[in-house]
């Protein structure tokens, strides 16, 4: 028997509840607002009123910490973070903190996800490269903002898991397994590049893959702490940088990152 994972995502303009089934097609059903979905084994793919309320509280928290972009706040309010965590962490999914996801990796703190996304300043239909798919949460936040995402993950197990989760949520991304420190030159140039792991330096290969006017957001430092860099390639090709202190990411592994 085929398993179908179900998640309630939102209400449409007509006030109908949208249910997405994670099989080969995305299905939308109009249902009664008070309909209860049988729990069975689908708990991690149900987006309940409780989850939505917790997300709204999370949005208020990161607003107070300085996130001002309405489109970023809307994306955080849209993407169900609990789907990306083990069931044991369900009650903690909307706390503003990072969590382990296995393989020595973490799902980033929601404020950090929002901060990086806000720095990237994406526009609809922009072509974005994400380095470090991890759980897939950051990728889905970007997809919820209407951009094209090319995402690459170094760890094979996380790559497979994230790819399936992204698909089950009804999103479409270009997913790759490999050395993200090199970028994806065959798909360049990109309007923006976001790196979700700490690098020892800014890989020149990533700057080369930016379009003129493009932005690179990357944490740089040692293995314990980093400063967030916003690297912008101006229309004339000149490079400008801004930095923001006090961040901590897992190491970026690869030829232009840290050695495993």
Q: Is 108 a catalytic residue?
A: yes
Coil, helix or strand at residue 44: helix
Residues in the chain: 260
Burial bucket for residue 209 (CB in 10 Å: 0-12, 13-18, 19+)? buried
Residue 86, number of CB atoms within 10 A of its CB = 13
Give the closest residue to 77 by CA, choosing from 41, 117, 40. 117
Q: What is the DSSP letter of 162?
A: H
Prior bond of 189 cis (ω within 30°): yes
Coil, helix or strand at residue 220: strand
Q: Which of 69, 108, 135, 181 is catalytic?
A: 108
* Angstrom distance (rounded) from CA 146 to CA 57: 23
Read off φ and ψ for residue 60, nearest 5 degrees: -65, -40
Encoded tokens for 52? 């939505």
Give the closest residue to 141 by CA, choosing from 161, 102, 111, 186. 111
Please give the positions annotated as active site. Answer: 108
């Amino acid at each position: 028997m085929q398993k179908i994972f179900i998640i309630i995502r939102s209400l449409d303009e007509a006030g109908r509840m949208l249910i997405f089934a994670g099989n080969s097609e995305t299905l939308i059903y109009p249902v009664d607002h008070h309909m209860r979905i049988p729990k069975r084994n689908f708990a991690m793919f149900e987006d309940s009123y409780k989850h939505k309320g917790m997300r709204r509280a999370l949005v208020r928290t990161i607003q107070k910490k300085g996130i001002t972009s309405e489109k970023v706040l809307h994306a955080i309010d849209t993407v169900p973070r609990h789907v990306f965590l083990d069931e044991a962490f369900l009650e903690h999914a909307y706390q503003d903190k990072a969590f382990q996801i296995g393989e020595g990796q973490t799902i980033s703190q929601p404020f950090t996800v929002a901060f990086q996304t806000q720095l990237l300043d994406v526009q609809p239909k922009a072509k974005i490269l994400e380095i470090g798919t991890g759980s897939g949460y950051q990728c889905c936040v970007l997809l919820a903002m209407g951009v094209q995402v090319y995402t690459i993950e170094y760890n094979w197990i996380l790559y497979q898991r994230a790819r399936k989760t992204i698909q089950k949520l009804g999103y479409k991304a270009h997913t790759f397994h490999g050395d993200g420190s090199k970028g994806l030159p065959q798909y360049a140039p990109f309007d923006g590049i976001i790196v979700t792991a700490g690098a020892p330096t800014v890989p020149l290969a990533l700057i080369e893959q930016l379009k003129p006017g493009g932005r690179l957001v990357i944490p740089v430092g040692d293995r314990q702490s980093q400063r967030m860099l916003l690297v912008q390639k101006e229309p004339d090709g000149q490079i400008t940088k801004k930095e923001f202190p006090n961040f901590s990411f897992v190491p970026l592994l690869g030829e232009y990152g840290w050695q495993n």
